[in-house]
């Protein structure tokens, strides 16, 4: 009986204490809000007199405690920042409100415009993308499309420039010999060679001089020579893919190391593509199939052809375009057919973006990676999308379109390559050029 009495008294005490704490908390909360209102009233009066520097400090003081008034006070502070022309702090607060989910469309736009004015697209574009995801407004989307494709075009004066995966060191042809240029068009490796490949991920490329192939480093030094001292000299080198040279001896292509020694003599093919997405397309007895990087068979040799992209690969974004029974269709890296649609012509994927396909009238459009037609057949020619841009030809000239089928790089181009690492090779009436995006996202 005594223990029950103790428990009863203890329970009553706890309830009284909880009530007291709640009362104190309510009282304290009310006092904080009252103090906030007083500070805001003073700040409003200063702002009306255009004494923004003092008003800002009072708004910031009022925001030291988070209450039901916080969002409204933040909006007043934003107005004061804008009136005071302190757009740096405006953007900082707008970004915070965006993260909290309280920012309005005009805040996203004003902050993005400030970033664009200061050439900071890396801040502007993600901010707009987050606003579009949260607010789903066309205003933000329209402005994003307006600014995200800002670019520079520079004439570099070579007859040919080959695309590479990162476009930092590119093979170029001056009309007589091949060498290498950087992404500003400056010569990095002298024009001494009869042919040249792009550099692979290991930092090696292959060049040819006087009927001999050499593997070279990025500083131009020779590393290995196919001089016939150990094996019959190669008759062709396709590319460097990963850590392999794709070369031809005795009429067949295979994999070789940087000393031009065979890596897999059992693998001999009539044609090959580079290894990408863990697989490659190869041709034997006139038919194409798919193998893994280790040489394991993924599909039988059943395809009539495989499209090859600007980097020498059949696969990109885990997709490839293959020809079967006279028509092209999409497959994945396991050889599974994607979608039921068939096409009269097709280009290889360049990324995980849209893929160029043609109908029986020779007009080109685009499908997505599921094989669904996204941009209707309307162009004379087209190349698959990369970095949200597709090169298309209307009548004679080429240009670049967005995923919304709007011209966004509308220079009069005679030729245009896909973008890689924010750079594309293009031909103008003045010669070969490099187009550089001021903002890009690698896919």
Per-residue pLDDT tens over the stretch 56-68: 999 999 999 999 9
73 and 39 Cβ atoms separated by less than 8 Å? no
Number of domains in the chain: 2
Q: What is the DSSP letter of 411?
A: E
Question: Model confidence over 207-226: pLDDT tens digits?
Answer: 999 999 999 999 999 999 99
Residue 6 has pLDDT above 60, yes or no: no
Domain end, chosen from 131, 150, 169, is at 150
Share of the chain above pLDDT 70, in %: 94
Burial 7-26 (b: 16+ CB within 10 A, else e): eeeeeeeeeeeeeeeeeeee
Same domain, 168 and 207: yes
SS3 4: helix
Domain end, chosen from 150, 176, 203, is at 150
Same domain, 259 and 116: no
Alpha-carbon distance of 365 to 354, in angstroms, equals: 9
CATH assignment at residue 228: 2.130.10.10
Alpha-carbon distance of 274 to 282, in angstroms, equals: 9
SS3 63: coil
Q: What is the average pLDDT value for the chain, to the nearest integer?
A: 93
Alpha-carbon distance of 60 to 64, in angstroms, equals: 7
Q: Quick check: is 443 in a domain?
A: no
Same domain, 229 and 368: yes
402 and 408 Cβ atoms separated by less than 8 Å? yes
Helices (H) and strands (E) in the chain, counts: 7, 30
Share of the chain above pLDDT 90, in %: 88
Same domain, 242 and 119: no
Same domain, 50 and 175: no
Same domain, 345 and 412: yes
Strand partners, 431: 428
Q: Quick check: is 319 in a domain?
A: yes
Dihedral sign from CA coordinates of 9, 10, 14, 20: positive
Find all residues with CB under 8 Å of 27, minimum gap 6, and list them.
none
Q: Mean of the pLDDT values across residues 347-351?
A: 98
437 and 147 Cβ atoms separated by less than 8 Å? no
Q: What is the DSSP letter of 310?
A: T
Q: Mean of the pLDDT values across residues 402-421?
A: 96
Q: Quick check: is 442 in a domain?
A: no
Q: Which has the higher per-residue pLDDT, 267 or 20?
A: 267
144 and 160 Cβ atoms separated by less than 8 Å? no
Same domain, 254 and 385: yes
Same domain, 224 and 373: yes
- Residue 16: band (very low, low, confident or very high) from pLDDT cuts 50, 70, 90: very low
Question: Model confidence over 82-102: pLDDT tens digits?
Answer: 999 999 999 999 999 999 999
Same domain, 252 and 348: yes
Q: What is the DSSP letter of 276?
A: B
Same domain, 247 and 117: no
- Of 86, 89, 94, nearest to 110 by C-alpha is 94
Q: Mean of the pLDDT values across residues 6-20?
A: 46
| Other beta carbons within 10 Å of 261 | 13
Residue 355: exposed, middle, or buried by beta-carbon count in 10 A (0-12, 13-18, 19+)?
Answer: buried
Same domain, 157 and 275: yes
pLDDT at position 14, please?
54
Alpha-carbon distance of 296 to 303, in angstroms, equals: 17
Same domain, 270 and 294: yes
Domain end, chosen from 150, 177, 195, is at 150
Q: Mean of the pLDDT values across residues 354-360?
A: 99
| Other beta carbons within 10 Å of 69 | 17
Domain that holds residue 127: 2-150
pLDDT at position 12, please?
52
Residue 305 has pLDDT above 70, yes or no: yes
């Amino acid at each position: 009986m005594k223990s029950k009495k103790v428990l009863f008294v203890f329970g009553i005490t706890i309830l009284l204490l909880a009530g007291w704490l709640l009362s104190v908390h309510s009282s304290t909360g009310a006092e904080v809000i009252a103090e906030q209102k007083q500070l805001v009233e003073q700040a409003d009066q200063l702002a009306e007199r255009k004494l923004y520097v003092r008003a800002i400090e009072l708004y910031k003081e009022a925001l030291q405690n988070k209450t039901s008034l916080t969002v409204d006070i933040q909006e007043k502070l934003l107005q004061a920042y804008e009136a005071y022309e302190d757009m740096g702090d405006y953007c900082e607060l707008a970004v915070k409100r965006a993260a909290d989910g309280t920012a309005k469309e005009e805040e996203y736009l004003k902050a993005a415009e400030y970033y664009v004015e200061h050439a900071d697209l890396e801040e502007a574009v993600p901010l707009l993308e987050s606003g579009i995801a949260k607010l789903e407004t066309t205003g933000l989307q329209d402005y994003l499309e307006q600014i995200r494709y800002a670019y520079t075009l520079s004439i570099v004066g070579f007859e040919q420039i080959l695309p590479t995966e990162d476009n930092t060191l590119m093979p170029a042809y001056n009309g007589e010999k091949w060498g290498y240029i950087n992404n500003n068009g400056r010569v990095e490796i002298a024009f001494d060679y009869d042919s040249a490949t792009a550099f692979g991920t290991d930092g090696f490329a292959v060049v040819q001089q006087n009927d001999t192939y050499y593997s070279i480093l990025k500083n131009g030094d020779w590393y290995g020579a196919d001089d016939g001292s150990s094996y019959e000299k190669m008759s062709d080198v396709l590319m460097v893919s990963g850590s392999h040279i794709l070369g031809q001896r005795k009429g067949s292509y295979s994999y070789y190391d940087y000393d031009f020694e065979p890596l897999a003599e059992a693998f001999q093919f009539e044609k090959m593509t580079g290894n990408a997405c863990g697989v490659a397309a190869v041709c034997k007895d006139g038919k194409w199939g798919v193998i893994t990087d280790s040489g394991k068979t993924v599909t039988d040799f059943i395809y009539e052809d495989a499209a090859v992209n600007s980097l020498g690969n059949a696969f990109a974004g885990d997709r490839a375009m293959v020809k079967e029974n006279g028509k092209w269709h999409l497959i994945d890296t396991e050889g599974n057919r994607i979608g039921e649609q068939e096409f009269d012509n097709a280009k290889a994927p360049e990324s995980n973006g849209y893929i160029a396909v043609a109908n029986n009238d020779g007009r080109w459009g685009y499908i997505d990676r599921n094989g669904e037609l996204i941009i209707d057949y309307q162009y004379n020619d087209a190349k698959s999308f990369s970095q949200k841009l597709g090169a298309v030809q209307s009548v004679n000239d080429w240009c670049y379109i967005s995923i919304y089928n709007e011209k966004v790089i509308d220079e009069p181009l005679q030729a245009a390559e896909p973008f890689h690492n924010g750079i594309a090779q293009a031909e103008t009436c003045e010669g070969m050029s490099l187009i550089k995006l001021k903002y890009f996202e690698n896919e």
